[in-house]
Structure 1
Amino acid sequence: MSESSLLGSATALSSAFDAALVDLDGVTYRGPHAIESAPPGLAAAREAGMRVVFVTNNASREPQTVADHLTELGMPASASEVMTAAQAVAALMLESLTEGSTVYVVGGAGLRTAVTEAGYEIVDSADPVPDAVVQGFSPDVSWRELAEASYAIRGGARFFASNKDLTIPNDRGVAPGNGALVNVVVTATGVEPPGAGKPEPAMFRLAAAKADAERPIVIGDRLDTDLKGARAAGFPGLLVLTGVDGVREAILAPATERPSFLGRDLSALAVPHPAPERDGDRWRVRGATAWAAAGELRVDEADAGPDGLDGARAACAAAWAAADEGRDLRVEVTPGVEVRSHHG
């Protein structure tokens, strides 16, 4: 293998790509607070001509509500720049469920609006049995709603889920996500629903179409949703270190979840990104080098670069090459870990 799946860009990402498909939690804000670097990072990207669509697996809020929240946090946005899992699951339902069908909704206002706008009739009970059940995240979901959904599905209703994230980050830590609540209904019914949100590629393709993008890049903090979805959709992905996953997780990422670029935060859009280069059994990124020796990842971060991540980039290239060649590799070091951003 002579090339790494970690890419390089000789120009700033904001000029190399025409649209940014941006995750929310862990990328633009954490809980009620904006991540400090996010407003100026997005403003600079827009000034460079980059279009922005915010892509969220949260199906509970209306697009306008999401846009208003971002605007209040210093990141001006319109409802047309928001793509929610509620909108994605409504599009998924239209592929196999005719307009006018009855649907029992488990979730918040955003999901109910998306289902209504898709031409479905919302019902509030499993009796008579509706044509379908759709479930999305809301902090107010109750046992009664989960029970009604289970009755309907066991009675023959189709089952759809906005997304299957098992956890959701907030300002207090990590809480159960929609996937955990979906699994309650799966346990009661034995029926596994298709999901529409990340990491399904359709959501990113819908977001790219919303931006009229020819060269989109996905930006996220989670490998198993944001970056896996980017690869599934065939789009490059930028992993930022302001949320769930960090450098170690990137180094150990399976091929289906590997980012194309690493960045400290959204300021990474404003700079070029060096490409890893193979030199024998070593991978170099400017002044940083990584290689495998005696089954262990070794990293020389004599010069970690302006953002402190060149060692991490080299480490990803070396570790991924070893994995692709079928070699086991212990990872005892985590280069670039000191740059991980925890500020709110």
Structure 2
Amino acid sequence: MRGHDALLVDLDGTVYRGPAAIDGAVETLEAVRARLTVSYVTNNASRGPDEVADHLRELGLTLDTDDVVTSAQAGAAVLAERLSPGDKVLVVGTEALAEEIRLVGLEPVRAEEDEPVAVVQGHSPDTGWRILAEAALALNRGAAWVACNVDPTLPNERGLLPGNGSMVAVLRTACAREPDVAGKPAAPLLQQAIDRVGAQRPLVVGDRLDTDIAGAHAVGAESLLVLTGVSTPAGLLAAPAGQRPTYLGADLRVLDDDLAPTAIGDGETGGWTARRDGAALVLEGSGGDTGDTGDTTAALRALCRAAWASSEPHDTVRGGDEAAEKVISTLGLTTG
């Protein structure tokens, strides 16, 4: 962690899945907290920061409520900058999101007939047709539209569930409009977290290339991708430049050690090398124990270097020997 003064950590798929902590997450974050500031930055707007903080404490983490920054807070802040005090905002989301609207001096409403000047949309497991219809009426009348986030999926212990982005897509289709986005990958949420702690060199940590890592690029920060949530090795190899992380780890336990060896650009690859062969990526090397998680992420870093060195896409990944083939299979990559 040398060179970083704050850790901005995603929650869903990074610290926990559903209500349960991911292996090693709590112990690692407690150890990191002794060395630098740790903030928890979530795109999920369904809960208030106090409720999120309580959940994290139940998992065993030490933190203050101000250490949590949510996309609901970011969405409310974006609207407060554009609207006048007392303006009405139609809320598509939970009461926690409505409370954030109140806290910035705006009035949350739930019906178009109240003549809201804006719509704010955040994740709620109870979002249904009726509130989406009210929002559509307001948007078609010309109300401003802020989405707290546009994640299409939400990871939990059972798998991937529809996220706020899937509900945003309903209104996008119905109204032929695009929302302004407050959460990752847009800058407002992460910038709010950076400003809150006065960080100069934050490290953004998350499980999604299209939100956490892209968000880090949006605020000019380095990033660490962990493979405990949504993004996959195949997605990482195909990532565009604006979604490529600085570091790669299997999970948060990579923060226990020096991060430098996990840098994709010039970190260690455990004896693995990768090269282009036409449209294929070829993995070669010794790599040691192919059943070790650290070894597979080292191999993946080598593959990333080969994939990202060319603007041409690859269509397959293969191993130069049996050990490499085994690692490729463990990573879930297509062989040929």
Instruction: Answer whether TM exceeds 0.5 for this pair.
Output: yes
Classify the secondary structure of the residue corresponding to 1:95: helix
Q: AA paired with 2:317?
A: E
Query: Are the aligned partners of 1:146 and 1:185 in contact in 2 as well (CA < 8 Å)?
Result: yes
Pair 62,328 (structure 1): closer, same or farther in 2 beyond 3 Å = closer
Other-structure match for 2:129: 143
Pairs aligned (count): 319
Other-structure match for 1:232: 218
Query: Are the aligned partners of 1:52 and 1:211 in contact in 2 as well (CA < 8 Å)?
Result: no
Classify the secondary structure of the residue corresponding to 1:141: coil
Other-structure match for 2:153: 167
Q: AA paired with 2:269?
A: V
**How far is the alpha carbon of 1:243 from its aligned partner?**
1.0
1:200 and 1:188 map into 2 onto residues whose CA distance is 23
Q: Please, which of 77, 88, 100 is the counterpart of residue 114 of structure 1?
A: 100
1:94-121 deviation line (CA, Å, top 9, x unaligned): 2322222111111112211111111101
**How far is the alpha carbon of 1:179 from its aligned partner?**
1.3
Which stretch has the larger CA shift, 65-74 or 157-166? 157-166
Other-structure match for 2:21: 34
Quote the sequence identity (%): 44
**How far is the alpha carbon of 1:276 from its aligned partner?**
5.9
Other-structure match for 1:331: 316
Q: AA paired with 2:126?
A: D
Classify the secondary structure of the residue corresponding to 1:230: helix
Pair 336,42 (structure 1): closer, same or farther in 2 beyond 3 Å = farther
**How far is the alpha carbon of 1:187 from its aligned partner?**
2.5
Pair 44,221 (structure 1): closer, same or farther in 2 beyond 3 Å = same
**How far is the alpha carbon of 1:66 from its aligned partner?**
0.2
- 1:312-331 map, 5 Å: 312-323=300-311, 327-331=312-316
**Structure (1 or 2) with the greater helix fraction:** 2
Q: AA paired with 2:306?
A: A
Other-structure match for 2:298: 310
Query: Are the aligned partners of 2:123 and 2:163 in contact in 1 as well (CA < 8 Å)?
Result: yes
- 1:1-344 map, 5 Å: 13=1, 15-47=2-34, 49-272=35-258, 273-274=260-261, 275=263, 285=269, 287-303=271-287, 307-308=294-295, 309-323=297-311, 327-333=312-318, 335=327, 338=330
Classify the secondary structure of the residue corresponding to 2:180: coil
**How far is the alpha carbon of 1:286 from its aligned partner?**
5.1
Query: Are the aligned partners of 2:224 and 2:247 in contact in 1 as well (CA < 8 Å)?
Result: yes
1:200 and 1:277 map into 2 onto residues whose CA distance is 25
1:259-317 deviation line (CA, Å, top 9, x unaligned): 10001111111222325678xxxx97352211112332111241269821222111111
Q: AA paired with 1:192?
A: E
Which stretch has the larger CA shift, 78-87 or 267-276? 267-276
Pair 124,319 (structure 1): closer, same or farther in 2 beyond 3 Å = closer
1:144 and 1:295 map into 2 onto residues whose CA distance is 49
1:23 and 1:115 map into 2 onto residues whose CA distance is 23
**How far is the alpha carbon of 1:53 from its aligned partner?**
0.8
Pair 133,304 (structure 1): closer, same or farther in 2 beyond 3 Å = farther
1:236 and 1:113 map into 2 onto residues whose CA distance is 32
Q: AA paired with 2:315?
A: R
Unmatched 5+ residue regions in structure 1?
1-12
**How far is the alpha carbon of 1:39 from its aligned partner?**
0.6
Pair 284,322 (structure 1): closer, same or farther in 2 beyond 3 Å = farther
Say what the alpha-carbon RMSD is for the aligned residues.
2.2
Classify the secondary structure of the residue corresponding to 2:134: helix
The structure whose RCO (Cα within 8 Å, separation 6+) is larger is: 1
Q: AA paired with 1:36?
A: D
**How far is the alpha carbon of 1:240 from its aligned partner?**
0.5
Query: Are the aligned partners of 1:101 and 1:120 in contact in 2 as well (CA < 8 Å)?
Result: yes
Pair 78,109 (structure 1): closer, same or farther in 2 beyond 3 Å = farther
**How far is the alpha carbon of 1:328 from its aligned partner?**
3.8
1:339 and 1:144 map into 2 onto residues whose CA distance is 43
